[in-house]
Amino acid sequence: QVQLVESGGGLVQAGGSLRLSCAASADDVSINTMGWYRRAPGKQRELVATMTNGGNTNYADSVKGRFTISRDNAKNTVYLQMNSLKAEDTAVYYCNAQSRIFSFWGQGTQVTVSS
């Protein structure tokens, strides 16, 4: 089993920054890709950014150049540095971790950007 604990959400003004963290406790599970997804009010969940354990990254077009994903494989922790935040970034952000077979989700952390 894998448990994901997220932190770092909150309220910020447009143009500001936030850093999300997600720590995975993985007993006898090898984690491959870790990343972040978000669900805005009234919308479907969408990919924000992912990173493989080899360091390959994938970003949504809407966050390229503003968000940076990073990872500490030794700690099974993934981070999302969010800069130049916009009101449309307001959403619940979910951490995701994938093993070879399963996909695990965190409980979500609210990010609210005031304009």
DSSP 72-90: EGGGTEEEEEE-S--GGG-
CB 42 within 8 A of CB 22: no
Give the separation between CA 64 and CA 57, rounded to whole angstroms: 11
| The pLDDT of residue 29 | 82
Predicted pLDDT of residue 26: 79
Paired with 22 in beta bridges are: 6, 78
| Exposure on the CB side of residue 83, measured as CA atoms within 13 A | 7
Residue 42: partners with Cβ closer than 8 Å, 6 or more residues away = none
Q: What is the pLDDT of residue 27?
A: 75
Check residue 1 and give its pLDDT: 81
**Which residues of the chain are under the pLDDT cut of 70?**
none
Please give the Cα distance from 104 to 102 (Å, whole number). Answer: 7
pLDDT at 28: 78
